[in-house]
Structure 1
Amino acid sequence: MSFMADPPGADRLSARLRRDTRAADEAAQANGFLEALATGRLSWVAYADLAAQHWFLYEALELAAGTMADDPIARAFVFPELIRLPAIEADLRFLHGPRWAERIAAHPATTTYCTRLRYAANSHPVGFIAHHYARYLGDMSGGQYLGQAIARVYGLNSEGNRFFLFPGIDVEAFKGYYRRLLDALPWTFDEQDEFVAEVVEANRLNVAVLDELARRWI
């Protein structure tokens, strides 16, 4: 896999995507729950609840990746090295013990998000790539700062925060490669519009999950 500099052009899909999703990205970053976690103002149980919600979301997304792996468009975005579910399960075993699966539950906002994700990501490459981008590129962007902050304030050292770690991946180089894949997609303007709209919706649903966590723990 070779990494090169991004080509110029404000009309590239990746550039448009960053512009059109900026407000939702800022809303997620400004969420009170994440800020409280990053500064250590919540108990570890609140962090464990976030990890549990991640499990439900990534189970839905990574099952969809299996469904879409043979699609001629979507398969370029199925990266085994990105899979988060085993890392989340390791975190939950550390946080809740071996019977973690009996101790977690999806909140209503998470269930709503999962329902939309399953519908969009299993039916068409546009929907799959939109939700794939919204989750994994978020993990590799603001999620990196959050992961470092959580590790520091809760005294975690790989155990309990594996979700945020991408061993063997140069995160910045990979993000550039991913955006070039987006720019090379042979989509019509209508498909690009649908894609951007679905990313915006995924971000909105993510903020709703964070808002529900904030109501429960702050």
Structure 2
Amino acid sequence: MSPTSTPFSAELRAASKEAHQGAESQRYISALVAGDLDRAGYTALVMQHHVIYEALEGAAEAMRHDPVAGPFVDDALTRLPALAADLEFLLGADWHGRIEPSPATVSYAGRLGAVCASSPEQFIAHHYTRYLGDLSGGLHIGRSVARHYGLAGDAGAAFYRFDRITSPKAYKDAYRARLDDLPLDEEGRAALRAEVLVAYRHNTEVFADLARFVPAGDAEVAA
């Protein structure tokens, strides 16, 4: 990167700004943060997250030693154990057999399985979209969820806690620096940018599907 060129992390952020805003503005997210869902409506999101992260973190194991993608694989980010604990609290010991992935989630997980274990660029795109979101707006969502849905401590909302990351801002800064230093040509960067948009599209479709849990009055106001 030359001194006057735009950092790649800034390019990614600019290229995905509209898609990011579209995901955040989904009425399910508005209802979730406002505390307008019932416990089942919240639990449905935890189920979808488990399916999504099972696919992504499975791919992370395949990419752990990849020279391009490997530096992004960090056990401090791993979400599956927290999601399992949340689902056990919310659904009981038989939670695994009670997970109901939506069609949008099945499609999202299918995309992760199709590209993330074989393409470093596409893996990084999905990794970036999910985990940097978790360390940004996700922290705010976690505080709202715990308050509105009566989840004391980690019980039911452990997904939103990153106990091994003491400073989310410092972590995100270092993550963006790794993006800026990626040894990719323009074709590789273009592939990564394009896949970030795919990731946001899938994420938005999951939220749109979950809108069925938004009470009718809230849906009418948000429309």
TM-score (norm 1): 0.94
- Does 1:69 pair with 2:64? yes
Q: Stretches of 4+ moved more than 6 A in 1?
A: none
Q: Which residue identity is paired with 1:69?
A: R
1:152-193 C-alpha deviation (Å, 9 max, x unpaired): 111212110000000131111100000000000010011101
8 Å Cα contact 1:130-1:198 kept in structure 2: yes
Q: Tell me, in whole angstroms, the C-alpha distance in 2 between the residues paired with 1:35 and 1:83.
A: 26
Pairing 1:18–2:13 present: yes
Match of 2:220 in 1: none
CA deviation after TM superposition for structure 1 residue 10, in Å: 5.9
Q: Which runs of 5+ in 1 are unaligned?
A: 1-7
**Aligned residue pairs: how many?**
212
Query: Given the alignment of the two structures, is residue 164 of structure 1 paired with residue 164 of structure 2, yes or no?
Result: no
What are the within-5 Å matches in structure 2 for residues 109-128 of structure 1? 109-128=104-123
Q: Does 1:79 align with 2:74?
A: yes
Q: What displacement does 1:216 show?
A: 4.3
2:196 equivalent to 1:199: yes
- Structure-1 residue corresponding to 2:89: 94
Letter in 2 for 1:199: V
Q: Give the match for residue 54 of structure 1.
A: 49
Q: 1:215 — aligned with what?
A: 212
Aligned to 2:172: 175
Task: Answer whether contact 2:28 2:213 (CA < 8 A) is retained.
Answer: no
CA drift of 1:105 comes to 1.4
**Out of 122, 146, 152, which is 2:141 matched to?**
146
2:128 corresponds in structure 1 to 133
Q: 1:106 to 1:189 in 2, by over 3 A?
A: same
| CA deviation after TM superposition for structure 1 residue 27, in Å | 1.0
Tell me how far 1:9 sits from its aligned partner. Answer: 5.7
Q: 1:42 to 1:127 in 2, by over 3 A?
A: same
Distance 1:203 1:9, change over 3 A: farther
Q: Percent identity?
A: 44
Cα shift at 1:37: 1.1
* Alignment match, 1:189: 186
Aligned residues of 2:33 and 2:141 also touching (Cα < 8 A): yes
Matched, 1:108 2:103: yes
Normalization by structure 2: what TM-score?
0.92
Return the offset for 1:120.
1.4
Q: Which amino acid aligns with 1:159?
A: A
Q: Which amino acid aligns with 1:201?
A: V
Aligned residue for 1:105, secondary structure, equals coil
Q: Which one-letter code corresponds to 1:202 in the other structure?
A: A
Closer/same/farther in 2, CA of residues 10 and 33 from structure 1, 3 Å limit:
farther
The answer as to whether partners of 2:37 and 2:213 remain within 8 angstroms in 1 is: no
Q: CA deviation at 1:132?
A: 0.5
The letter for the 2-side match of 1:12 is: P
Q: Which moved more, 1:46-55 or 1:27-36?
A: 27-36
Aligned residues of 1:56 and 1:110 also touching (Cα < 8 A): yes
